[in-house]
Structure 1
Amino acid sequence: MRFLPLRLSRVASLLVLGGVLVAVLLGWTAPAHATGERLVDDYRSVYGAPGVAAAVIDGASVETIVRGRDGDGNAVTARTRFRIASMSKSMTATAIMLLVDRDRLSLDDPVVKVLPDFRMADPRFTGITVRQVLSHTSGLSISTNNEYVFPPPRGAREIVARLADKVLATAPGTHPEYHNTNYSIAARIVEVVSGKSFDDFLRTELFTPLGMTDTGSTLGCSDHAEGLTSGYEVVLGAAVAAPEMPGFCVGNGGVISTLDDMVRWLRFNQGTLGANLLSAASLAELHTVQPKAGDYALGWQSRPVTADAPPSVIGHGGTLATWTGDMVFSPKTGVAALVLTNSGGDPGLLSTNLLAERIGAPATPMSNPLTVVNAVLLALTVGMAALLVTAAVRARRWASRRRAARRPRLVLRLAPLALVTVLGVVLPTPIWGAFSFHYWIVTAWLLPPLALFCLTCFVLGAVALGRRLWCFRRAGQATSAPVRPATADS
């Protein structure tokens, strides 16, 4: 009897081993499916994304994973509409390649040849080619062309017209800098060469032939679109439905689509759908890293599966204030992954992990650095508010103690409050690269806790500083007022 536990353990081991062998022979895929779902659930828990739609394409099979709710509180499905942000660039580049295939233009044509109205206050602009626009090597830069202007321009024509007084940061074809205006120029090229509006060209020449019936585009990032609900702002796990930040998105980020349609888009780029729409050479060119462009191709980027690995996959992400997404595929294995979310986050990490899990590569641990950043900013805001309110409340006592202080010493004692007040105004500047009050609006949408901290510093700092000066002046007037001599009646 003492050998019975040993025998039972051997039987159990044999049963487990037999089950594993049967699963392998039958091509059991439940663990991979479970792993994909776990990755999506982990992502939602880390980033607090209210709604996620994800897919993994492996040969003829498509695994879809949908979680959460849309801006109206309805369950996310494979036909829920999302803004795909800069993933739109792959479609703009493809629109250009359609015109290349039709001999309407060449990638190496100067932009001024196909867009005669294109002007800049820099003689080097005549050397910008269509290829350089699509590969972000045109020389356009945020340092010389502020893209966050309010109100934003309407349409590609106006975006191009506003470049007339701008200069280039570098010579065309010498330096890569990701700049959205490049793709608005590309959208204008499509309009001028085709004679159609950009949205109409995409719909009739690209989306409809591919069966992407729920996909369309808008000129502005916040324009109304049928069937599109609001996205979300998420701060420390709290999600609030919010309108998208106004901005120009034509050509660079205005496409709205669904998981089902984006699966078709990835299949097209893998060469398994719509083979007659674009030549094989043009499709390959879209995915080829361009000269002097770093890791950028044409509307796509080359990237590694893991941080320390060489680039082996092609992908592109998209980020707006309340929408993010990412798509990636492996030309070698044919496996692709797609993620759409209705909030901020790092969907590129999730899509790469979904692809890595399917091809047997290690996944990258997920963490949200903004959780710590936002917590620190909120703590600083509370602490700063307490200090500034205290300074304002005690301003009279402060003034009475410093009535006899010399002016230089008084200025030094007021300097900290003045510094805090100025800090509230200029703090967003180092983040975006140049001083502009427009960046206050950008900060309010993209980093709400930072905007709250800046507002606290500016408003309460100014109140405390003003109250100290007012109380000091009153205290001085009281000191200098003549004292009336006492009378017999008093």
Structure 2
Amino acid sequence: MSPGDALPRFDVVCFPRHLFVLAGVFAAVLLAWTAPAHAGGERVVDDYRSVYGTPGVAAAVIDGSSVETILAGRDGNGAAVTARTPFRIASMSKSMTATAVMLLVERGRVSLDDPVVKVLPDFRMADPRFAGVTVRHLLSHTSGLSGSTNNEYVFPPPRAAQEIVAELADKTLAADPGTRAEYHNTNYSIAARIVEVLSGKSFDAFLHTELFTPLGMTGTGSTPGCSDGAEGLPSGYEVVLGVAVAVPEMPGMCVGNGGVISTLDDMVRWLRFNQGTLGADLLSARSLAELHTAQPKADGYALGWQARSVPADAPPSLIAHGGTLATWTGDMVFSPEKGVAALVLTNSGGDPSLLTANLLAERLGTPATPMSNPLTLVNAIVLGLTVVMAALLVTAIVRARRWAARRRAARRPWLVLRLVPLALVVVLGAVLPAQIWDPGGPLNLQYWIVTAWLMPLLALFSLTSCVLGAVALGRRLWLFRRAGDRLV
């Protein structure tokens, strides 16, 4: 329905002419005042979708008491995105986990500076420094837990917070607690377990009864696993070179760190709560401010939120958090001083922090950030390399008989050296998926699964190199041996 359709219809002959003119002028002024912001927000979202090929976006800009909503595209079932379409919000869930802990702090059940072992006796590690890890360290990612000593890409992944804590028994810390920051999802899974132990409820049940229901977030829930199904939740998308395919989410441990499923309507309520304009009786202003305050040695990370650097002509400060899974991304940001906020939920990969930045810039009249998708060029190059590699290896397979005959005829065949390039191609294909995520780290073939979800064309390149390279290598050796048998 257009704005005009909402107005009562009058007979122009009976309506006084001067009032008709005044009404027309008023309507024109009203449309001129309201349309640019709405059209501008839609344009910013359309630009983002064209750059990243995002199938569906739900976005909002909050300015005081007004909310501009922008909905575009489709969900994984092909339906139009609405303000009630469910999205996985990924690591934006951390702000809710930190708030759940803060609720328990206000109730006197725990202190932020309590050692974790005091409230969670089952927490054990093969490193005596673990006794110094506090609840604050977990929520600010300064516990010393690290991907270098605790691989989070394990398949099948642990499903429950209790299981995640138990699997730390043979792990070590990479740094003394409280001395440096490293973003590590396990911190928040431990925090979720603390909530479970102190409340006597499952983590999802605590969020539902103590946080989501009081705030009126009726379409919000959580799952322990990143790929767990939920009622009404459609699939997210993989987008490669502009082609979007609905696929399941990559398996992973999401309890406490990334398992919340929500809607645009509910996330607007969540931002309003954090701005202090909703649910004031749920958490004190002092505790809310603590959640948004950067912590010592945390490189700007607060408690489930982080301070986001901004250019000189942008709002004076921004509190934000993004979220990224293989098939879902999102971002939320607000300025405590300006009272404005932006929220983006998408059902594919991308960089939604660019979109929130430009939505705020459009509202505040500040310069926009140019948007580009570096993966477009990367994927094009990888696809080109895959085609070239496949062509070279198929040629090597087809010409293997001729190669074997020449090597047998040579006085010095240098067989091993001649096979080194093919062997290197096979090795490259096998190790590349692991080394790209953990350079210099140990070979972990489970990274193949991560690569297949996050960079499918790179997985295709590696698979092509491994399979066709091994076939070419094996065929050359087999035909070389057969050529020798015939000579005998």
- The answer to whether TM tops 0.5 is yes
Query: Is residue 482 of structure 2 the alignment partner of residue 474 of structure 1?
Result: yes
Query: Do 1:306 and 1:362's aligned partners in 2 also have CA atoms closer than 8 Å?
Result: no
Deviation at 1:405, TM superposition (A): 4.2
How far residue 432 of structure 1 moved from its aligned partner, in angstroms, is 1.5
- Aligned equivalents of 2:111, 2:168: Cα separation in 1: 23
Partner of 1:350: 355
2:408 to 397, 403, 407: 403
CA contact (8 A) 1:305 1:356 kept: no
Tell me which moved more, 212-221 or 299-308: 299-308
Q: 1:418 to 1:308 in 2, by over 3 A?
A: farther
Listed as ranges, the gaps of 5+ residues in structure 1 are 1-18, 482-490
Please give the alpha-carbon distance, in whole angstroms, between the structure 2 residues aligned to 1:324 and 1:156. Answer: 23
Q: Secondary structure at the match of 1:137?
A: coil
**Contact 2:295–2:303 at 8 Å: present in 1 too?**
yes
Structure 1 vs Structure 2: percent identity of aligned residues? 81
Query: Aligned match of 1:383 in 371, 383, 388?
Result: 388
Larger Rg: 1
| Counterpart residue identity of residue 370, structure 1 | L
Q: Which residue of 2 aligns with 1:103?
A: 108
Report if aligned partners of 2:237, 2:348 keep a CA contact under 8 Å in 1: yes
What's 1:171 paired with?
176
Offset at residue 355 of structure 1 (A): 1.2
Q: Structure 1: how far apart are the matches of 2:194 and 2:413?
A: 62
Letter in 2 for 1:302: A
Equivalent of 1:286 in 280, 283, 291: 291
Q: What is the TM-score normalised by the length of structure 1?
A: 0.92
Q: 2:308 aligns with which of 303, 307, 310?
A: 303
Equivalences, count: 460
- Structure 1 residue 476 displacement after superposition: 1.2
**How do 1:236-255 and structure 2 match up within 5 A?**
236-255=241-260
Say whether residues 1:462 and 2:476 are aligned partners.
no
Q: Which residue of the partner structure matches residue 374 of structure 2?
A: 369
Question: Is 1:79–2:84 an aligned residue pair?
Answer: yes
1:409 deviation in Å? 2.1
Relative to the length of structure 2, the TM-score reads 0.92
CA offsets per residue over residues 191-225 of structure 1, 9 Å max, x none?
Answer: 00111100000000000000000000000000010
Taking only aligned residues, the RMSD between alpha carbons, in angstroms, comes to 1.7
Q: Deviations over 1:216-239 (max 9, x none)?
A: 000000001001010000000000
Q: Which amino acid is the alignment partner of residue 426 of structure 1?
A: V
**CA distance in 2: counterparts of 1:473 and 1:26, whole angstroms:** 82
Q: Residue 483 of structure 2 aligns to which amino acid in structure 1?
A: A
Contact 2:307 2:318 in 1 (8 A): yes
Q: Distance in 1 between matches of 2:190 and 2:412?
A: 57
Q: Deviations over 1:418-468 (max 9, x none)?
A: 000000000122221132111000000000000000000000000000001
- The 1:153/1:407 distance shift into structure 2, 3 A limit, reads farther
2:208 to 178, 203, 215: 203
1:66 aligns with 2:68: no
TM-superposed CA distance for 1:150, in Å, is 0.4
2:208–2:221 contact (8 Å) kept in structure 1: yes
Structure 1 counterpart of 2:421: 416
- Does residue 224 of the first structure (1) align with residue 229 of the second (2)? yes
Deviations 1:59-114 (A, max 9, x none): 01000000111111000000000000000000000000000011110000000001
* CA–CA separation in structure 1 for the residues paired with 2:124 and 2:219: 36
Distance in 2, matches of 1:81 and 1:364, equals 28
Residues 316, 337 of structure 2: 8 Å contact kept? no
How much has 1:406 moved relative to structure 2? 6.5
8 Å contact kept, 1:303–1:311: no
In structure 2, give the amino acid aligned to 1:449.
L
